[in-house]
């Protein structure tokens, strides 16, 4: 079954890259187009302004009040009909003074206003020839007439230049955009290469039986690989623990089953007693391994947290009802928290406190975190009983071991306490109580992270 996904990371990166490339190239192309077109237009207008100034500088008034040039204008196109470059001087009450290039045409002059400075604009007064016109109004010495000096040139030249510039920009930016897109694709393919290598490494885990990803990878991917290796190690440890539990349980049940089978086959007269005795043994073994399995399963869920004070108080309330003549005292840091499931902590403390009440002389003293520090949290359970000799303190943790067979019990309490504590990274130590004179149990559990 294919697991759900949120789309391709490569396509997402390429889409973002393509979007930014299009936006930035469009803005850059528009700005460059405006800039270059403005430069071409200004250069064109500068040429018209130069011709207009030359006209003004050459113009004079004759004795009849008419205008003339004291020297011919230098551009030969003014003499060629329909050459695309024209000039004209217009004054109210006087005939227009045009260039020969206008031939039989006339430039339209809007004389209703005054232009003391050159004024440029586009004109479509010639149907087949759009013009760029520059005009200026001026009073010449010796004349009271306001003369309009007009120079015009076909826009075909500047339009062709602008079209050529735009074509160059278009193809340049198209090639640049394709190059950037290909570079983004190459960067995406190369940048995501480590993820493909991780996928292949995980595939090799399934096909070759290896249990770690050892291939060197970039720093950004290495934390992912480390977490993956930690998960694999955790899973491997759980599998090994499960195999060990299954083997131990099978071995523990094999002997009682053999005894029952032999008694049944031999039709022993004490068969019922044998079955009851061996069934009790098997039940103890099953309870022990179930407790370990529950602890392992809860540990695998995530970061556990339990309040030691709340757990101890709950256990003391329950044990007090069973041992009404025993005095229970509680001291220490009740706000301490440990990295363990509350149910497992209750089971550990229940076994230890009940054992202290059962085998003690009537006093049980529980101290939480007697020496607070950054290390593990310690819980001391002391009683005023006979204690346990040094040579017996290791054997007492074996499954089914009991020093006092005269009192009811399965002999699994301390074994379960040790196993569950070790599953969570803790430990249990037995010593002699200096205050009460009996047994001192030091339970160490990892502190919960802040």
Q: Give the chain's domain count.
A: 3
Kindly state the tokens that stand for 331.
């001291």
Strand arrangement, sheet containing 363-368? 327-332, 363-368, 377-383, 439-445, 427-432
- Residue 394 CA to residue 164 CA, distance in Å, equals 96
CATH code for the domain in which residue 96 is found: 3.30.450
Pair 81, 110 in one domain? yes
Pair 408, 348 in one domain? yes
Pair 276, 324 in one domain? no
- The rounded radius of gyration (Å) of the Cα atoms in the chain is 51
Pair 267, 307 in one domain? no
- List the pLDDT tens digit at each of the 450 positions of the chain: 555 666 778 888 888 988 999 999 999 999 999 999 999 999 998 999 999 998 888 888 888 888 888 888 888 888 899 888 999 998 888 888 899 999 888 888 876 677 778 888 888 888 888 999 999 988 888 888 888 999 999 988 888 889 999 999 999 999 999 999 899 888 888 888 887 888 787 777 777 767 777 777 777 777 878 888 888 887 777 777 677 666 666 666 776 777 778 778 877 787 787 787 777 767 766 766 666 666 565 554 446 788 999 999 999 988 888 888 889 999 988 888 998 888 888 888 988 998 888 888 889 999 998 877 768 899 999 999 888 877 777 777 664 444 444 444 433 467 778 888 888 888 988 888 888 888 899 999 998 876
Pair 95, 32 in one domain? yes
- Residue 34 CA to residue 45 CA, distance in Å, equals 16
Alpha helical stretches, state H, 155-270: 156-191, 193-208, 222-265
Residue 89, domain extent: 22-161
3-state secondary structure of 257: helix
CATH code for the domain in which residue 404 is found: 3.30.565.10
Give domain status of residue 111, yes or no.
yes
Cα separations in angstroms, 50 against 54, 85, 122, 142, 245: 6, 13, 18, 24, 102
Output the pTM of the full model: 0.51
Strand arrangement, sheet containing 131-139? 97-98, 85-91, 146-154, 131-139, 119-123
């Amino acid at each position: 079954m294919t697991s759900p996904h949120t789309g391709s990371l490569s396509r997402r990166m390429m889409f973002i890259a393509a979007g930014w490339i299009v936006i930035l190239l469009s803005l850059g192309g528009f700005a460059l187009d405006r800039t270059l077109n403005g430069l071409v237009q200004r250069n064109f207008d500068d040429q018209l302004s130069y011709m207009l100034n030359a006209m003004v500088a050459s113009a004079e008034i004759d004795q009849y009040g008419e205008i003339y040039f004291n020297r011919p204008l230098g551009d030969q196109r003014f003499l060629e009909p329909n050459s695309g470059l024209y000039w004209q001087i217009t004054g109210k009450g006087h005939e227009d003074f045009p260039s020969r290039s206008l031939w039989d045409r006339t430039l339209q002059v809007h004389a209703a206003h005054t232009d003391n400075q050159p004024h440029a604009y586009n004109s479509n007064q010639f149907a087949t020839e759009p013009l760029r016109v520059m005009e200026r109004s001026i009073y010449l010495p010796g004349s009271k007439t306001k003369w309009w000096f007009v120079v015009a040139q076909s826009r075909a030249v500047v339009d062709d230049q602008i079209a050529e510039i735009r074509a160059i920009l278009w193809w340049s930016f198209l090639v640049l955009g394709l190059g950037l897109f290909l570079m983004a694709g190459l960067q995406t393919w190369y940048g995501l290469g480590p993820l493909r290598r991780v996928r292949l490494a995980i595939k090799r885990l399934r096909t070759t039986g290896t249990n770690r990803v050892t291939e060197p990878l970039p720093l950004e991917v290495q934390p992912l690989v480390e977490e993956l290796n930690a998960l694999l190690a955790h899973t491997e440890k759980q599998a090994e623990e499960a195999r060990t539990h299954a083997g131990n349980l099978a071995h523990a049940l094999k002997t009682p089953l053999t005894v029952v089978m032999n008694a049944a086959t031999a039709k022993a007269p004490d068969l019922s007693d044998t079955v009851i005795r061996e069934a009790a043994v098997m039940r103890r073994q099953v309870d022990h391994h179930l407790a370990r399995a529950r602890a392992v399963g809860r540990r695998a869920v995530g970061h556990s947290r339990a309040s030691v004070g709340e757990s101890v108080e709950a256990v003391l309330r329950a044990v007090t009802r069973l041992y009404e003549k025993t005095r229970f005292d509680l001291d220490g840091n009740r706000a301490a928290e440990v990295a363990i499931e509350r149910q497992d902590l209750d089971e550990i403390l229940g076994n230890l406190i009940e054992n202290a009440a059962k085998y003690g002389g009537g006093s049980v003293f529980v101290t939480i975190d007697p020496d607070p520090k950054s290390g593990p949290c310690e819980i001391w359970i002391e009683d005023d009983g006979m204690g346990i000799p040094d040579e017996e303190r290791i054997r007492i943790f074996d499954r089914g071991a009991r020093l006092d067979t005269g009192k009811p019990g399965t002999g699994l309490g301390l074994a379960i306490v040790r196993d569950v504590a070790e599953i969570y990274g803790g430990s249990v130590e037995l010593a002699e109580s200096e205050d009460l004179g009996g047994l001192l149990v030091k339970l160490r559990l990892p502190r919960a992270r802040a």
